[in-house]
Structures are given as structure tokens and as C-alpha cells.
Structure 1
């Protein structure tokens, strides 16, 4: 066996029974490998040969509990689509424990491992379709440099699972320093369990935000401010790469500022600021352009949950206030980097806003525009210009952009182009790319999944033989509907 029992630690389990329920995963019949991330396996120190074997397959399907594991499901609450939903919890996720990682312990969690006390009306399972999407996107976001949970592997089973239609079961093994959510704090605050709330907050501060203990004033207000800063940076990175999360409920928000719970996500194709990627989001609450404000709304809910640990409400409001400046500033820095501008100057936000309005008016493909612009610093602007119907308006904007570039002291066109190509990806996980891999996987062919995974792990490189993954989406892509059903 590759994992000695002593390798496992269980910090979250040590919080006590108020925080979780111990239980074993529910086995699945005839499991098989769907995909693995060798990079995550290396970070966890897992032997590649063991990862190909039956013991690993059974363990990461939930069929076997290895010595040293202490599986549990945690309880939390939350706001869903803006409404208080009460107690939620890990309805199909089971935490196995922690393994050592390069920067500290990493939690290992099975998603789709069976019923828990928090499953409510659910069946505790995940389907192959959504598990592949989460696996691919977790690793794709990491390669883009965006804070995220990781995915070690996906296993599948012929066991039937009913969603809109009968699908087959799968389990994705997720990895993160912690899966604690805003909703964990909401649970103990709203239920009046303030000692448990303090215990949880102290746990998060001690293990992940130790500087908050040393900060002047209230350490829990300092925690709220630190979480707000991380969340601001994460959402700015989402916006800059055209990523829509799809279901930003408070129970899907990481206390560490990580992208978690990949459900109805989407990377933008044609740029539409009001795009809603979640077919279940009929009100458009989680549209792309609303994500920054929704993140603040969720942080405000976290602040309300932490109020019992603060001196007064003003402390929470003061801790939240920096987000209003941090998020737009972080986004502007990201947009400047995409434009090849080394620093932010007066007028840059207007330059960016004008461009985004032009892109929206002509429904310009988001990823292809930025990649072509990266090449246009040295080469011709014609391939970029061809993306627009309003050619004269684009020409006027492009003239301003070139003038802004060349006004920078020591401007070097080749260096700027190289920097932009390291910032603007060649490939992202578009819905249609994932759909092709999923449809082949349903037939037992995982070769397209592996090819796509390899490309997504190198998003800024032009990989030979992968040009088809970087092109415009086919017409049928606009018909793909992604919902909360997974």
C-alpha cells in the first residue's frame, strides 16, 4: 500500500461532533478509471504505480476505507439564490482526511460517494457528465493561475443515476487546503451556536490566517477583511479570463478565496456581460457582470454570521469596505496585463471600458480576441480587426491602445508580446470542448478527455495538433444547457 496510516491527519475532524458526522462512503459496482491528474498525485506524494492499481481505484470510488482515513460529512447552512436555505451540508461529499502537500496538509474529499445525513432530497451521487467537467475545470483553473480546489481523479461506474434522464455514476476526488465555506459560519451563527462559531473561526485563523491573531483590534474582523481581500482577487481573476461560476451561493464560497464547487460554470464564448451560464438561474442572479457584486453580497452575509464575535456591527462594515476598492483595482491590473500595459495610469479604466463595450456590441469571442491581440503587438492588427463589425470604432480604440503602449518608457514590443501571451490563454475549457469529451467518455473512450486535459494544463502554449481546441465554437455550442443538475 502506498499510503501508511500515519500519512493521514484529521484537523477538521478534531473540531468535534457538532461540525460533522462520521460515516463510510457507499460503494459503487464495477468501478473504472476515467481520468487522473499526475500533477496532483505528485503533490500528494502518491506513487504513480499505486495510482494505477485496484487499491487506489477502490479507495477513490468510496468502496474501500484505507487504514488512517476517517471519513466524514460536514454540516453547514447558506443562502441559495439570495434566500436563506437553512441547514445544508455535505450531501454527497465525504472528507477522507488530510495528506501532506508542498505548502501544508491538503484535504481529500470524495464527491458523489453516497448518501449522508445532509443529503436532504438528494441521492448522494454525482454523474459522469458533471464529474468530468469538475475534474477538467479544477485543473484548467489551476493552470491559469486562478485559486481553486484541485482534482486528483475521477472514477466511473455503470450504476444508474436519475437526473433529467438516466445517467451513470462517477466520483471525483477533490483536493484543497480546506473546504470550509461561508455557509459553515452561517450555520453556527444562525442556529445560535456561538461557541462553535468561535471554535470554527479560531480554527480558520490559527491554520490559515495567523496574521489576523496579531492584527490590532478584533481578530474576527481582521479575518473578515482578509477573506474579503482574497475573494476580491479571485473574482477579479474570474472576470479577466471570462469565467462564469454559475451558482455563487454562500455555501459555494470558500473561506480561503478558492474557486470551489464546479457546477454550471462556463467560459464565455461571444462576449456578453449579462450572460447567464446556469440554465436553472432564471432570474439571472449570477450573470457574469453581477459576479463582483454577488461576491460582496456573500461577504456581507459572512460578516453578519461573524457579528456575535465582534464588538459591534461597524467593525464588520469597516472590514468589508476595502472590497469596494480592492476588487475593481485588482480587475484593472488584470485587464492592463491583458493589454500589455505594465502599470495602471489615469484613463486606463476608460480605455478598458470602451473596448468591452465594443466587444459586447459585436459579440466578439472573448478568448480569441485577447489571444489575437497578444500577437498584434508585433504583427498585424487585421486578424483582431476582423472580429469586429464596427471597424472604424475599433480602429479608433486600437490607435489609443498602441499610443498608450508606446508611451511607456522602455517599451519593448517583443517583450510585451511575450508577456501578453503568458496572460491571455490560447485555450480555455469551453462548454463544447467538455461536451465532446463527455460524449466520448460515455461510450468508454477517454482519449479525448486526456487530450483536452493535456491542452488545458498548458493554456498559454500553442500545442501542435491542438488547433481545433483553440478555434471558434461550433454553432451547436450555443444550444448546450448547463444547470444545477449534477
Structure 2
């Protein structure tokens, strides 16, 4: 049966992008498929292979490259757009529309000087990254399939090319609204606002003012919750430009991301980020900066007082959600208490001073607090903290607390050195490491004793692998 798609976004018109026929890679073949997601989308492997290789697209697909703008490292770029991707269309499942998007599908009118391609290296990283986020129950776009080819793509050097088939309910970025605002295209912006409100909030599209405010409120709440979750799990996105910010608050556009190994609050995972704008401990502030940019782009439709009120909720939502997540990781009551807040702050300071592996410490704390303290160099400070922690734990039965903590503290994360090993082995034709990594990332809170080696922190030489935006 041929897969059926709708084209609701493309039907907004060519002011919103351009129809583009994907340029299939030479001798492309399906390398991997997310079978769980395929089942959810009601698609057979043969249909997915045709979609990801762009070899035989259904007639209902109308490939469309979106146009948008964005603030990149704080500077405004007036026109960006899908330079190497196309929206194939939307597939309806369980009353929801899901975007199907090809990444690496060739040149578009927004490619500028690029070739419109993606390399296998970055495609595998995004595939793994989306699996990791899904397993950690963090909102994210999802990778459905990868196609690979022997065709070479030039970045820093020649590399194998690849295409990613990505699925999400929303490819609308903050930068979409910025584009129409700064271009003075108010009618188009109103159409986009009402389209998004009807699709993502299920509201009457007749009141643009109300819809714009509702979208800003939604984006504020979901961005705050998303970044709180990133901070709690130790994830750094690496390039939080407004064109990489999802309207519905998903982890979007995986590039030079990284999970913390040693707890370094100022960790920079993108070696192109010379000033540390997107360092781990600056993500919360950057989230608000980006929301201010979105609010400014919507200011023709929202009163300034309503904008201020919407944005004022951000810090409270983020702080409250982060506190609850961290208390769950510690096995403590999530109701706010000053004593527990101080306990958390002193722990994070101690982890930073001792350069302790973030994930390993919390997993060890879940099993045996005494063993976790053994990881610290400053044992005296650790013993003092442990005494206060055990006093805080006294109100919760041990078995209940342990179960809570093991369900909140992953054993496995996508460490950069593991991703690099998987990329290298796949490039050599061996899928074993890649498949093993997918297994633990899909259920990172389970023990997987046969794959214990994938929970090990990196050797010192592998702690600071350089990752850039190149793809």
C-alpha cells in the first residue's frame, strides 16, 4: 500500500518556501530503520526505504523547502531556510499530523554556497542523539531512517554521504516568525500564526491576537521545561540559535551536542563556540534570550504587557521543573524546601570541584550512597554532605527511594567517545557497536549487564573530543 501524505504547510503558499525535488544520492541504500517508530507511523520497510532514498516518492508527497530566518550566535541572519532538507509532507496518525522531513536531500533555493548534502558522520550522530533523547523521555524530533552511499561529500575532507528521514509533529522554528516580521510580511505572519494555533493548540484560527499570545505562552512553557530537563540530565545542545528552536519545545537540529562526562558547568561542546555563548550553564539564559526574540517577532499581534507577563513565567517554570527533576534524582520529596535546595547546590559545587562524572555519580548514588562518595577526591567534604543527605532521606523508605532514583538516573548516556566509536565502525561496514548503543539508549535506565562496557566513563584522552557544526 502506498503511503499517504498531506501537505498542509506547503499549501500556505510559495511565500513560505519552495517546491523542490529531492536529489537522490547515487546508489543510496537503507542503512538503518527505527522499527518502533515505523510501526507507530504505519509504514512498511519498503515504503521507508523509498522515502529515505527519495527513489520512488508517493504522488501525495509534495517536497517543500521551508524559508525562515534566525539569530545565529546573537547576530541576525535575514534568510536561512532548508538548505539541505525538504518537508515531504505530513502523515496523519491517531488524529495527529506528523511531519516527514528529508535531511541531506540536495540543493534548495536556500542552500547558499552549500551542496545540500549531509555526511554519514553527522547523520549517525543525529540518529543516535534522537534515540538517546527518546529513551530519556525528553521531548525530541525522532529519526526514522538513514540511507547511506559511497558518494563522497566534502567537508573538512571527503566523507561518505547520507540522508536522514526525520519525523516530528512540528518543524516550525522561532526563525519562521522572525523571517516574516523582519521582511514586513504581516499577512503571511498572521497566516502562519493561525496555522500553528489551529494545528498545535487546536483552537479557532479566527483571532490572530489571541493565537499569537497562546503560541508565545506555549513556547515559553515548553522551552522552559525542555531546558530544565537538559540541565538535569547533563545535555548541552551546542548551537541554540533561534532557527534551531522548536515552537513546541522539542530537542531540534542535533549538531555539535554533547552529554557531560565530568561535571563542568561551563562545558562548551561546540568547538566553533569561541565565546562560550552556548555553554552548558548558559542554556537557561539563552532559552529566555531566544524567547525574547520570538516575542519581538510576534509584537505586531501581542500587547507589550501580555508579552512581559508571558516571558516572566519562564524562569519560575524552568526553576520549578529543574528542582523537581533533581529532587527525583536524589530520591527526595519534590515539594520545595530551602534545606534540600542547599543540599543540591552544595552537591553540584562538590561534583564540579572534584571533576566527578555526572551520570556515574547519580547512578552510583541510586545504588549505594557510600560508594558514590568514594568517587570524590575530597572525602571529608563528601562525608559531611552524605550525613546531611541521609538525614534528608530519613522520611522516605529505602526501597521506594531506590526505585525512584534508578528510574530517574540513567546508567547509559550517549557519550561522545561512544558515538565516535559507532561512527567509525559503521564507516568500516560493522553495525555491531551502533546496534548495541541503540539498545542501551532505547532503555537507558535498565541494567543491560551484557553491555556494561557502554556505561563506562571515557578515558582522559576521550573526554574532550572536538565536535563542530559541519555536516
Q: TM-score, normalised by structure 2?
A: 0.97
After superposition, the C-alpha distances for 1:428-479 in whole angstroms (9 at most, x for unaligned) are 1000111011001111112211111111101000013110000121233124
User: Is 1:143 aligned with 2:135?
Assistant: yes
- State how far apart, in whole Å, the 1-side matches of 2:211 and 2:145 are: 37
Q: Which residue of 1 aligns with 2:328?
A: 337
Deviation at 1:56, TM superposition (A): 3.7
User: Is 1:45 aligned with 2:37?
Assistant: no
Q: Which residue of 2 aligns with 1:433?
A: 418
Q: Is the 8 A contact 2:141 2:250 kept in 1?
A: yes
- State how far apart, in whole Å, the 2-side matches of 1:219 and 1:170 are: 39
Q: Which residue of 2 aligns with 1:317?
A: 308
Q: Is the 8 A contact 2:31 2:146 kept in 1?
A: yes
Q: Which residue of 2 aligns with 1:414?
A: 399
Mind listing any 5+ residue stretches in structure 1 that lack a counterpart?
Answer: none
Q: Which residue of 2 aligns with 1:398?
A: 386
Query: SS at 1:130's partner residue?
Result: helix
CA root-mean-square deviation: 1.7
- State how far apart, in whole Å, the 2-side matches of 1:3 and 1:419 are: 45
Q: Is the 8 A contact 1:35 1:153 kept in 2?
A: yes
Q: Is the 8 A contact 1:35 1:450 kept in 2?
A: no
- State how far apart, in whole Å, the 2-side matches of 1:427 and 1:147 are: 18
After superposition, the C-alpha distances for 1:290-311 in whole angstroms (9 at most, x for unaligned) are 000000000000000000112x
Deviation at 1:217, TM superposition (A): 8.0
Mind listing any 5+ residue stretches in structure 2 that lack a counterpart?
Answer: none
Cα distance change of structure 1 residues 138 and 212 upon mapping to structure 2, 3 Å threshold: farther
Q: How does 1:224-243 map to 2 (within 5 A)?
A: 224-243=216-235
Q: How does 1:460-471 map to 2 (within 5 A)?
A: 460-471=445-456
Query: SS at 1:308's partner residue?
Result: coil
Q: Is the 8 A contact 2:101 2:165 kept in 1?
A: yes
Query: SS at 2:161's partner residue?
Result: strand
- State how far apart, in whole Å, the 2-side matches of 1:106 and 1:440 are: 32
Q: Which residue of 1 aligns with 2:434?
A: 449
- State how far apart, in whole Å, the 2-side matches of 1:398 and 1:101 are: 49
- State how far apart, in whole Å, the 2-side matches of 1:185 and 1:134 are: 25
- State how far apart, in whole Å, the 1-side matches of 2:253 and 2:219 are: 18
Q: TM-score, normalised by structure 1?
A: 0.94
Q: Which residue of 1 aligns with 2:195?
A: 203
Q: Which residue of 2 aligns with 1:158?
A: 150
Deviation at 1:234, TM superposition (A): 0.4
Cα distance change of structure 1 residues 103 and 280 upon mapping to structure 2, 3 Å threshold: farther
Deviation at 1:315, TM superposition (A): 2.1
- State how far apart, in whole Å, the 2-side matches of 1:309 and 1:215 are: 10
- State how far apart, in whole Å, the 2-side matches of 1:287 and 1:459 are: 25
- State how far apart, in whole Å, the 1-side matches of 2:178 and 2:26 are: 37
Q: Is the 8 A contact 2:30 2:52 kept in 1?
A: no
Deviation at 1:39, TM superposition (A): 1.0
Q: How does 1:265-280 map to 2 (within 5 A)?
A: 265-280=257-272
